[in-house]
Chains A and B, each alone.
Chain A
């Protein structure tokens, strides 16, 4: 199997190089036969990366510890599910996963464009995709080979890091990767559009589904990562502005800006240059994300260790960036539009400000992430920033974005009249003000929470108004009852209403983040049996501690009786786990989640006399982050649902 995997990788590499060669020859000689060969090679490429991936999966399942990668991330006692998913637990497997998904996506593009072969841009799209695949296969077949052997057969593997033995962690990396990889395709379309000079919005229409789908995957990946951090890492939070978290957040921010500005180009035929800039930046930031995770340049909770890969990624990114700048500069005159913004009071200008703000947040996040490197190089002063910096800089920017989310649907395209504004703003603004007063009386008096909550009310009311208005209009038109009219409206105008559902999800996340960060309670202490610890309305009494062996780990579980306002409210049971193969114990969070607040308990220490150290956190409204995240994903999927019958309406883009 090792040889089979190795050979498959090498064949895949050969096919990707062959495809590039065929396509280039075909383009130079203007010979369709070569282009057809280049196209077919891409299918071969996908086939062999698939075979290589199957081989690696097989090696994991069969405990083939003579393979270094398998020995490093698996062991005999590991449950089968985690053996399969250990595939992407480390760098080498992750790169193979990248190459595999990219080439499968490529095969899908090749199939979808089989009738477009004559159109001039198609070969360039193939060429960009084949080149990207070649880059990853070059790494896989040389520096970072997952099939490399140890030279001896160890009795057992090192085992999978216990922190990764969690269902959320299983899907977090691959979904992020799917997002990263997905943006290769719009990038390829953009490059080919610039090369042949067909600079209208065709490339945007053709790739809209790829864009939104990749964005959905990035969103899922980021949310799963946060959830994993929350339930597994045991520090009571979900986001720490860690370099690797930022590396996934920056592409998300730029991609979100891109999805918005693409809408303006489709609607108003402006911002062509801007969109080209954004898609290049999105793709480069996706590579940067992969690079940051895999290079060991920055210290992070994701401790992967340094390898020689960084330099290759850096070179590839610089090539992409310079190539992108060159192409945009070359086609700049054709990209410039005759149309321009008609008024700063218009829907398109809210989109523009939205773009500026998303990029500003992306920039400040990038700046804070690489600041330690810059600071030392430029000033010699080793100044560094962490969480407080990101919170301080980004919170006001996010709040302005939130305000824009509410304003945008209230303002018409092109130019809004004062009358129209007054009419549309009255109700939401009034609701926000009343809400703010009510919250103030209820005791929420700090500036940021009060602002965030009242802006959230403002946005929710505007979105609700949009849904209500649309449903009523449809009801009037068709005579359908509300419960039929609403879902039909949703489907009929799914781009628009899907977008609003995403916005609703964002607002709900804002509420969750505000509640859980501004009103978090935290305490810690060491208890002997029978003693209690208090936090907020809760009191936790330590009753029992027991230990037992479970598969590949020893578990110590404490039982604590929970009292809320003096009344019994069930038990909670944090654990400490000693995995056979791990050097250190792990704490298992015991979590009681609710719509109002989460009670979050970890047990970071057990003493000789069965005294336990507890860390207890109360996180208000935290569950709404996951609910909002679910809505964002659902809205994104609604926005790209395929058409059932009619072709050619506004929803149909292909």
Chain B
């Protein structure tokens, strides 16, 4: 192989190694656990606290309380499959348009075991999918 080609190959390999390192570093620094409510309240929170937790669950009916003046929202979220597994959620900020009782939400933040409370920094509400509304439409 010619010298110039060799140098180029080495440079390309360095780039590839650099990218591999960036990806590795990116995941270890920004990765978060994606869990269900059941997994959050069952697990040892110590193991999650070094990273953030993202959790999906359903908003329990009648549990929401929103102080619009201070943008302070509290509600109870339950496991998607197991209705008995619940935890409290506190969130400060704007409530998404799609947020309402019985809707699926995705939260990001940290969990405090003693008060069974999840402090959410982000709150996403999933739109009810098109197909579900179709089903209810047909029953009418």
Contacts and interface: CB of A to CB of B under 8 A. Distances in A.
Contacts of B70: 526
Given A344-B7, A349-B8, A585-B97, A364 B19 contact: yes
Contact of A389 (B15, B27, B71, B106): B27
Contacts of A604: 94-97
Given A364-B22, A524-B93, A383 B15 contact: no
Nearest to B1: A340
B102 to A, nearest CB: 12
Given A344-B8, A382-B35, A611-B69, A605 B16 contact: no
B71 to A, nearest CB: 6
B126 A303 contact: yes
Contact of A343 (B4, B31, B68): B4
B66 to A, nearest CB: 8
B54 interface: yes
B23 A364 contact: yes
B26 A393 contact: yes
A465 B128 CA distance: 55
B97 A371 contact: no
A158 interface: yes
Interface in B1-39: 2, 4-5, 7-8, 11-12, 15-16, 19, 22-23, 25-27, 29-35
Given A341-B5, A524-B94, A385 B130 contact: no
Contacts of B12: 352-353, 356
Prevailing SS type, chain A contact patch: mixed
B2 A340 contact: yes
Contacts of B94: 524, 604-605, 613, 615
B71 A371 contact: no
A525 B27 contact: no
Interface in B75-111: 93-98, 100, 106
Given A305-B131, A341-B5, A353-B12, A158 B137 contact: yes
B129 interface: yes
Interface residues of B, number: 46
A607 B27 contact: no
A353 B11 contact: yes
A105 B127 CA distance: 36
Contact of B23 (A341, A381, A393, A611): A393
A545 interface: no
Given A341-B4, A584-B127, A381 B33 contact: yes
B106 to A, nearest CB: 8
Nearest to A382: B34
B55 to A, nearest CB: 10
Interface string A32-53: 0000000000000000000000
Nearest to B66: A605
A342 B8 CA distance: 10
Interface residues of A, number: 55
Interface string A346-390: 000100110011001001100110011000000001111110110
A396 B22 CA distance: 9
Contacts of A537: none
B26 A154 contact: no
B133 interface: yes
A526 B7 contact: no
A330 B35 CA distance: 46
Contacts of B26: 364, 368, 385, 388-389, 392-393
A583 interface: yes
B68 to A, nearest CB: 5
A217 B25 CA distance: 34
A368 B31 CA distance: 10
A383 B138 contact: no
Nearest to A603: B94
Contacts of B137: 154, 158
Contacts of B33: 381-384
Interface in B35-86: 35, 51, 54, 68-71
Nearest to B129: A305
Given A385-B27, A392-B29, A340 B5 contact: yes
B31 A526 contact: no
Contacts of A158: 130, 133-134, 137
Contacts of A342: 4
A617 to B, nearest CB: 12
A303 B4 contact: no
A393 B27 CA distance: 9
B19 A360 contact: yes
B140 to A, nearest CB: 8
A154 B15 CA distance: 59
A72 to B, nearest CB: 6
Contacts of A143: none
A382 B51 CA distance: 12
B127 A303 contact: yes
A122 interface: no
Contacts of A386: 30, 32
A587 interface: yes
B8 A383 contact: no
Given A299-B106, A382-B33, A384-B32, 9 more contacts: A90-B130, A343-B4, A356-B15, A372-B34, A383-B32, A383-B34, A383-B51, A393-B26, A604-B95
Interface of B: 2, 4-5, 7-8, 11-12, 15-16, 19, 22-23, 25-27, 29-35, 51, 54, 68-71, 93-98, 100, 106, 126-131, 133-134, 137-138
16 contacts: A161-B130, A304-B130, A340-B2, A353-B11, A353-B12, A372-B34, A383-B34, A384-B32, A385-B31, A388-B29, A392-B26, A392-B30, A393-B25, A397-B19, A526-B71, A604-B95
Per CB-CB distance, the 7 closest pairs between chain A and chain B, nearest first, are A388-B30, A384-B34, A360-B19, A393-B26, A305-B129, A604-B94, A389-B30
